[in-house]
Amino acid sequence: MTQTVLEINHLVKKIGNKAIVKDISFSVNEGEIFGLLGPNGAGKTTIIRSIVKLISKTSGEIKILGHDIDTSYTEAIQHVGAIVENPEFYPYMTGLQNLKAFASMSRKKVSAERIDEIIKLVHLEKAINNKVKTYSLGMRQRLGVAQALIHEPKLLIFDEPTNGLDPEGMKEFRLQMKSLATQGVSVLVSSHLLTEMELLCDRFAIIERGELTHIADMEQTSTSEQEKAFHMHLEPLPQAKELLTNWDIDYIVAEDGTPHFFITTLPSNIPALIKKLALADISIFTVEAHTKSLEERFLEITKHNGGSME
């Protein structure tokens, strides 16, 4: 049975009479990368700050490996490595000196071998003896990951970790997180960059105006009872259009005038449709289901809920 690493039950945060986070519940399992998605100001950072007690929650329960952060904070937080907003370092110290300074503050003894291991993991061997003020944003981010990992946490928490990174830096972060997840480390990451989150996460939750409006597996697809879009290359074009219209099939044709149809129907209808087209002497070159991207699903969900990324 998979272990629950982070458990959040009915989390509420109010400032005055205004609810910033409204009755949110979710969990993160061992070795899972879980994403919090939503526009800026949706409440993602408030949730993360509540988990690590940078702010006090109004009500609700937060447990890390079974330890309640209110009653057993020391036991709970020792399992956490986090970067909330931008990682901060002493700029006139080297990367290695910064890591050693952080290690000296850890409740858990950190060996020199462990520090070397982490430096190699984040690919900072060539720059670790340079002063941090000379580091690029991507290098500082890698040093931040090293700092978060140094005491071997079971849960990593990142708030907008790829902000400002170039595509190479984003890919590197993604690969590091996936590698750690295979070793049993859990990752909670918040972002508004949907394409990156689609490539990174196993599950995601959508936060809108402080509410959790949707939670799903990243690979979750439509069921057979729901309509999907299918791309079909059908020739000749005029006859195919006429038949689909007569059969009352919902479709659009490619704008460039090529015989590529995008048909919306139940998956269970496709075999019969193909048979009818073939009997009508329509040549069928392509039939493929169109899988919705995370961005399409996000916009569909938030539009239904009256929200947006703006």
Q: What DSSP line would sit under 6-73, residue for residue?
A: EEEEEEEEEETTEEEEEEEEEEEETT-EEEEE--TTSSHHHHHHHHTTSS--SEEEEEETTEETTT-H
pLDDT of residue 249: 86
pLDDT of residue 300: 59
Instruction: Tell me the pLDDT of the chain (310 aa) as tens digits.
Output: 679 999 999 999 999 889 999 999 999 999 999 999 888 888 999 999 999 999 999 999 999 999 999 999 999 999 999 988 777 899 999 999 999 998 888 777 888 999 999 898 888 999 999 999 999 888 888 898 899 988 889 999 998 887 777 788 788 888 889 989 999 999 999 987 777 888 889 999 989 889 998 888 877 644 434 667 788 899 999 999 999 999 888 888 887 778 888 887 888 888 999 999 999 999 999 888 766 666 666 665 555 555 444 3
How far apart CA 134 and CA 157 sit, in angstroms, is: 26
Provide Rg for the chain, Cα atoms: 25
> Do 4-217 and 228-290 share a fold?
no
The domain limits of the chain are 4-217, 228-290
The CATH number that domain 228-290 falls under is 3.30.70
Q: For the whole prediction, is pTM greater than 0.85?
A: no
- Secondary-structure class of domain 4-217 per CATH: alpha beta
For residue 269, the tally of other CB atoms under 10 A from its CB is 13
How far apart CA 114 and CA 151 sit, in angstroms, is: 9
pLDDT of residue 308: 43
- Going by C-alpha positions, the residue among 232, 229, 246, 248 that lies closest to residue 282 is 232
pLDDT of residue 25: 95
How far apart CA 301 and CA 214 sit, in angstroms, is: 8
